[in-house]
């Protein structure tokens, strides 16, 4: 295999994951089990959906830090509306409502960015505060534990469940199917459609994309609306699986999501990113968040570990690009 293959972010992250799992298994043989795997998959669902949306935004040359605020807003408003109007609404209609609300909030980001040409980081930082403040001020700030029956039914729905030979319980929630659907849909958009090629094009160079006739505004609007819809889906899944609508939840998750996307190889400058790399980044972040204690590292070091991973994930590609430029000179 070529040297370039071994220096790709995706390859390096996969190797780190393998080494981490081997070390964790050596420290505690119970780590490598169906129970641990199901727990890690469960912890990857919401983070994974967020990361796919964030990756699409990075590929387009932008950045979005408002997705957690959109997710909580969509989840909480959907829960309140359902309880106040049709408490027996099926879970799939509640999810649809949350996705629509998320898409509408994402469309607001897209409008400000595409129509007025405002910087993506500034816009999403602003809307993060606006969405969160509006929710807490005008909608509600109380944690709701009595969720609609449809959301409770979804949280109990499983793809598979059982007990290992050692007597440990494992379960794969239905929410995992939502992550799979998002992954397949986003991969199809990016790799098999003209829309996907346009997203890569504007991430590489907005001016070049305009010169070849790409409607940059429409593409940017779609990207942020799509990311908002995914945030709405992630939010309602988070509320359902946690069996509580908490308007203060998901705060601070932005760092972990961006870390996962960057580790997966997506460039902050835009124009590059893969679904497979993003999923590998999510897997590594989930391992760090849930398994440090297994290898004897205090959980208080979690933020330090994630910060170091971000530095490595952004620093390695920059170093590689610098070396390639020096060789070409």
CA dihedral 41, 47, 53, 55 (to 10 degrees): -90
Asked whether residue 300 is assigned to any structural domain, the reply reads: yes
Asked whether residue 27 is assigned to any structural domain, the reply reads: no
- Token pair 């405002």: residue: 118
Asked whether residue 179 is assigned to any structural domain, the reply reads: yes
Q: Is the whole-model pTM more than 0.85?
A: yes
Alpha-helical (H) ranges within the chain are: 3-6, 9-27, 34-59, 67-84, 91-110, 120-134, 149-156, 175-192, 194-204, 206-211, 216-242, 254-263, 275-291, 302-328
Q: How far apart are CA 173 and CA 38, in angstroms?
A: 9
Residue closest to 62 by CA, chosen among 183, 265, 204, 256: 204
Asked whether residue 3 is assigned to any structural domain, the reply reads: no
Give me the number of domains the chain comprises.
Answer: 1
Asked whether residue 1 is assigned to any structural domain, the reply reads: no
- Per-residue confidence (pLDDT) for residue 327, from 0 to 100: 77
Q: Looking at residue 298, what DSSP letter applies?
A: -
Residues of the chain short of pLDDT 50, as ranges, are 1
Asked whether residue 79 is assigned to any structural domain, the reply reads: yes
- Per-residue confidence (pLDDT) for residue 7, from 0 to 100: 58
Asked whether residue 329 is assigned to any structural domain, the reply reads: no
Asked whether residue 325 is assigned to any structural domain, the reply reads: no
- Per-residue confidence (pLDDT) for residue 10, from 0 to 100: 81
Domain span at residue 293 reads 12-21+32-320
Q: Report the CATH number that the domain containing residue 71 is assigned in CATH.
A: 1.10.3470
């Amino acid at each position: 295999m070529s040297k370039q293959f071994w220096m790709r972010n995706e390859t390096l992250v996969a190797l780190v994951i393998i080494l981490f799992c081997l070390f964790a298994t050596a420290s505690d043989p119970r780590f490598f089990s169906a129970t641990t795997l199901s727990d890690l998959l469960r912890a990857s669902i919401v983070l994974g959906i967020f990361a796919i949306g964030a990756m699409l935004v990075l590929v387009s040359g932008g950045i979005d830090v408002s997705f957690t605020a959109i997710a909580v807003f969509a989840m909480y408003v959907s829960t309140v509306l359902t309880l106040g109007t049709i408490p027996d609404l099926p879970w799939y209609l509640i999810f649809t409502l949350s996705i629509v609300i998320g898409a509408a909030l994402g469309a607001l980001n897209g409008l400000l960015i595409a129509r007025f040409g405002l910087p993506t980081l500034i816009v999403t930082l602003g809307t993060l505060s606006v969405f969160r403040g509006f929710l807490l001020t005008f909608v509600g700030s109380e944690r709701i534990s009595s969720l609609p029956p449809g959301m409770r039914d979804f949280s109990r729905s499983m793809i598979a469940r059982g007990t290992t030979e050692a007597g440990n319980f494992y379960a794969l929630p239905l929410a995992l199917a939502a992550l799979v659907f998002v992954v397949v849909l986003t991969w199809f958009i990016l790799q098999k459609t003209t829309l996907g090629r346009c997203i890569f094009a504007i991430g590489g160079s907005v001016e070049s994309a305009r010169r070849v006739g790409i409607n940059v505004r429409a593409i940017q609007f779609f990207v942020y609306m799509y990311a908002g819809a995914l945030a709405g889906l992630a939010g309602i899944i988070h509320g359902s699986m946690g069996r509580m609508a908490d308007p203060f939840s998901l705060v601070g998750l932005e760092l972990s999501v961006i870390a996962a996307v960057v580790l997966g190889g997506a460039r902050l400058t835009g124009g590059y990113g893969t679904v497979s790399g993003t999923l590998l980044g999510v897997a590594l972040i989930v391992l760090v968040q849930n398994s440090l204690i297994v290898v004897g590292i205090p959980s208080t070091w979690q933020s330090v570990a994630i910060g170091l991973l971000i530095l490595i994930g952004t620093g390695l590609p920059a170093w590689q690009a610098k070396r390639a430029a020096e060789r070409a000179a």
